[in-house]
Chain A
Amino acid sequence: MSELTEIRWHGRGGQGTVTAAKLFAQSAMAGGKFVQAFPEFGPERTGAPVRAYNRISEKKLTIHCGVTNPHIVVVVDPTLVGTTDFTEGTDEKAVFLVNTKDDPKTVREKIKLKGAKIYTVDATKISLETIGKPIPNTAMLGAIAKVSGIVDIKRVLEDVKEDFEKKFPEKITQKNLEAVKRAYEEVKGE
Chain B
Amino acid sequence: MGKLVALTGNIALATAMRQINPDVCAAYPITPSTQVIEQFSEYVADGLVDTELIAAESEHSAMSACIGAAAAGGRVMTATSSQGLAYMWEMLYIAAGMRFPVILACVNRALSAPINIHGDHSDSMGARDSGWIQIYAENAQEAYDNLIQAVRIGEQMDVRLPVMCCMDGFTTSHAIDTLELLDDKTVRDFIGEYKATHPLLDVEHPVTYGALDLQDYFMEHKRAQAEAMKNSRKVIVDIAKEYKKISGRGSIYFEEYYMDDAEVVMVIMNSAAGTVKTVIDAMRARGEKVGLLKPRIFRPFPYNELADALSNVKAVAIMDRADSVGAEGGPLFMEFKSALYGRKNQPMMINKIYGLGGRDLMLNDIEEIYKELREIKNTGKIKALSEYITVRGEEAAYGKA
Contacts and interface: CB of A to CB of B under 8 A. Distances in A.
A and B from one complex: yes
B30 to A, nearest CB: 15
Contacts of B99: none
Contacts of A62: 138-139, 274-275, 277-278
Interface of A: 22, 25-26, 29, 34-39, 41, 60-66, 68
Interface of B: 4-6, 117-118, 138-139, 168, 170-172, 174-178, 271-272, 274-275, 277-278, 358, 360-363
A26 to B, nearest CB: 5
B361 A22 contact: no
A99 B177 CA distance: 27
Contacts of A41: 117-118, 170, 174, 358
Given A26-B6, A29-B4, A37-B6, A65 B178 contact: no
A36 B4 contact: no
A115 B239 CA distance: 55
A65 B358 CA distance: 10
A41 B358 CA distance: 10
Given A37-B175, A38-B174, A41-B174, A64 B274 contact: yes
A135 B170 CA distance: 26
Nearest to A28: B6
Residue with the greatest number of chain B CB neighbours at <10 A, chosen from A22, A29, A60, A65: A65
Contacts of B278: 62-63
B178 A34 contact: yes
Contacts of B272: 64-65
A62 B6 CA distance: 15
A65 B273 CA distance: 10
Residue with the greatest number of chain A CB neighbours at <10 A, chosen from B5, B171, B178, B358: B178
Contacts, number: 67
Given A22-B176, A38-B170, 7 more contacts: A26-B176, A29-B178, A34-B178, A62-B139, A62-B274, A62-B278, A63-B363
A68 B174 contact: no
Contacts of B177: 35-36, 61
A181 B213 CA distance: 71
A66 B172 CA distance: 12
B6 A65 contact: no
A34 B277 CA distance: 16
A25 B168 CA distance: 21
22 contacts: A22-B176, A25-B6, A26-B176, A29-B6, A34-B178, A35-B178, A36-B175, A36-B176, A37-B176, A38-B174, A38-B176, A41-B117, A41-B358, A61-B274, A62-B138, A62-B275, A62-B278, A63-B275, A64-B138, A64-B172, A64-B271, A65-B360
Contacts of B178: 29, 34-36, 60-61
B361 A38 contact: no
Contacts of A36: 175-178
Contacts of B117: 41
B176 A25 contact: yes
User: Which 8 residue pairs are nearest across A and B when measured between Cβ atoms?
Assistant: A38-B175, A62-B274, A37-B176, A64-B271, A62-B277, A63-B278, A41-B170, A29-B6
A64 B268 CA distance: 13
A99 B168 CA distance: 34
B294 to A, nearest CB: 11
Contacts of B360: 65-66
B175 A65 contact: no
A60 B176 CA distance: 14
A38 B169 CA distance: 12
A61 B182 CA distance: 20
A182 B275 CA distance: 39
Contacts of A64: 138-139, 168, 171-172, 175, 271-272, 274-275
B118 A65 contact: no
A5 to B, nearest CB: 15
A65 B362 contact: yes
A11 B6 CA distance: 22
B377 to A, nearest CB: 25
A37 B175 CA distance: 6
Given A29-B4, A29-B6, A35-B6, A63 B176 contact: no
A179 to B, nearest CB: 22
Nearest to B278: A63
A63 B274 contact: yes
Nearest to B366: A65
Given A64-B171, A66-B360, A35 B176 contact: yes
Contacts of A65: 272, 275, 360-363
Contacts of B168: 64
Nearest to B363: A65
Contacts of B362: 65-66, 68
A35 B4 CA distance: 11
A131 to B, nearest CB: 24
A63 B358 CA distance: 15
Contacts of A34: 178
